[in-house]
Amino acid sequence: MYLLGIHNGHHDAAACLFRDYELVAAVSLERLTRTKNDGVTPAAEIPLAAVDECLRIAGLGRGDIDMVCASRAQFEVQTYKLHGRWQIKQLWYRLTQPPRLEMMFDMLRRMRTKDAASIFDKEGFKRRHGFTRADVFFYNHHEAHGLPGYFFSKFDNALIYTADGIGDNLSYSASAARGGNIEVIDGGDATLHDKYQVNSVALLYGHFTKELGFIWNRHEGKVTGLSAFGKPSAAPEILSHFSVDDRGRIHSDFPTYDAMHMFARGICQRLSREDAAASVQEAVEKITVDSVGKYLRATGLRDIAVSGGLFANVKLNRVLLEQTPAERIFVNPAMGDEGLVIGGCLIYLLARDGAAKWQRSRYPLEKLYLGRNYDDSFADVAKNYPTVSREAGRQIDKAAGLLEQGKVVAIYTGRMEFGPRALGARTIMASPVQREVNDTINRRLDRSDFMPFAPVVLEDQAAKVFDVNMGNAHAARFMTITCDVHPEWRQRIPAVVHIDGSARPQTISRADNPLYFDVLTAFHQRTGLPVLVNTSFNVHEEPIVDTPDQALKSLADGRIDHILTEDGLYTAS
């Protein structure tokens, strides 16, 4: 059975394809449209480019899909079945309203229902998009965030905790996976209301991001990095507006999100950027630690699986492991709304098969290469770039030597990564021995980042260099958590060490990505360093590259020195 997962929101639209429990493909819309964090535009109803890319990867057509698993986000006006007095106004809506309406608004406010299918014209939707034999299943936003983190973890029993800006009118959820069953504690459909609560620390963080001069919903990681340079002088003031009840639920006294925004503006106007960033970082850490800690103590669970946009905050993820009763943590690597599509399909499979079969079908996530593989066409596309030359063959030693010399070498191999991190398929590599390499690469890529880059490290050497341990090892495969760099290594690899002595490592084994692993192994043999810089292969404010043409253009434009593929090393003259 083929399941198509879609999320058609304002940002981070995506699609994925399952063959029963096998995740076949997953693609963010931004990688195809080349618009960062792209969402479905008013001219479209669903992310068709991402849908068709997933189908191309599998060699399928829309008519082969058996089930469309959709978020309750936005659909065209004509998709809604309006009843009663709203039916009379349907023509007016079609003529005067935007092409799409928020499904949750229709469900809860107009129709007073929590059943999305009851207001959805399924047959019309299928006709418009060619899903001739598919049924349609609607999934809960926070459940879709949470289930992948648990399904792909190594945990038998775990607290599943989600936090984001807002989705399906909620900002949090907590569930207990135990004894083969998943019990929703907070945040399920039973708690949906037509008005959202003003309690989202993720939105608070977003307001600070905007007021500090960064882009909301995109640059929150810059605030995290900036926080290391400041003092959290306003953290007590921020904390005074939030509380966590005995159950673990988060509350605030802000009457509206506009009021929260103005509060953030006031702090950012009177403090330095560094101190404001440090203040919101510490406050969010304390609130989230309090909430998660209370859920853990109430359930007796000691493993946590987290997801939602808040957990793109890698420093927060470390604090959760160190300051709560948690003994292990796994972070869904596609923690933003793009990851909803995977969770939506897992929700359907749980409903279809029941908990026992669903639990038996779980498997630990080892890699996230889910886009299209262009390896066979790279050399042909390179012929369109007369300034680019190629040394054919698997040039591992040559690439390692160039890295040792201080050259910037991109790697382009296999299927593109899914999620926000570059994990060795579309990655820029450099030697970590000079802190200045950060400035050099950022200047060439038109980036303004002030944070050190992340490291990739050989899996069997990771604990030697970093504080990678039983609690964070699985998360570290996907660069979703920070940890200490052992003191004796900090001066040896300064390009990847944060001001507080931490780093955000990716561990790699040969089974994951042979080309990536072999280059790092060769570099290790040459230098004694099992670490390389790993930064995403993209120019400032563009998505990570997808096609060979995008990669080769970066090379021809002088953004990098070389590109390494499975069958050649490319250089621009």
pLDDT, tens digit, 9 for 90 and up, residues 393-427: 999 999 999 999 999 999 999 999 999 999 999 99
Look at residues 333, 310, 323 and name the one whose alpha carbon lies nearest to residue 250: 310
Burial class (CB in 10 A: 0-12, 13-18, 19+), 46: buried
Q: For a pLDDT cut of 90, what percent of the chain falls above it?
A: 84
Residue among 385, 423, 424, 406 nearest 565 (CA): 424
What are the two backbone dihedrals, phi and then psi, of residue 77, each rounded to the nearest 5 degrees?
Answer: -55, -40
Please state, in angstroms and rounded to a whole number, the distance separating the CA atoms of residues 277 and 228.
Answer: 8
User: Pairing mode, if any, of strands 426-430 and 531-536?
Assistant: antiparallel
- Token pair 């960062």 is at which residue? 36
Domains and CATH numbers, the chain: 2-139 (3.30.420), 155-177+186-329 (3.30.420.40), 369-572 (3.90.870.20)
Q: What is the pTM of this model?
A: 0.95
Parallel/antiparallel/unpaired status of strands 415-417 and 388-392: unpaired
In sign, the C-alpha dihedral spanning 7, 12, 17, 21 is negative
Distance CA 82, CA 567 (A): 57
C-alpha angle with apex 549: 62 to 410, nearest 5 degrees? 110
Q: Measured between alpha carbons, how far is 201 from 265 in angstroms, rounded to an integer?
A: 15
- The tokens describing 384, both together, are 């369109």
pLDDT digits (tens, 9 = 90+) for 224-240: 999 999 999 999 999 99
Q: What is the mean pLDDT of residues 71-89?
A: 65
Radius of gyration of the chain measured on its C-alpha atoms: 24
Q: d(Cα 212, Cα 265) in Å, to the nearest integer?
A: 8
Nearest to 498 by CA among 422, 413, 438: 438
Q: Is 443 exposed, middle or buried (0-12, 13-18, 19+ CB in 10 A)?
A: exposed
% of residues, the chain, pLDDT over 70:
92
DSSP code of residue 501? S
- Summarize pLDDT for 102-152 with one digit per residue, the tens: 666 556 555 567 788 877 889 989 998 999 999 999 999 999 999 999 999
The DSSP code sequence of 204-249 is HHHHHHHHTTS-TTT-HHHHHHHHTTS--TTHHHHHTTEEE-TTS-
Q: CA-CA distance, 311 to 321, in Å (whole number)?
A: 13
Mean pLDDT across the chain: 93
Instruction: Provide the 10 A C-beta neighbour count for residue 24.
Output: 17
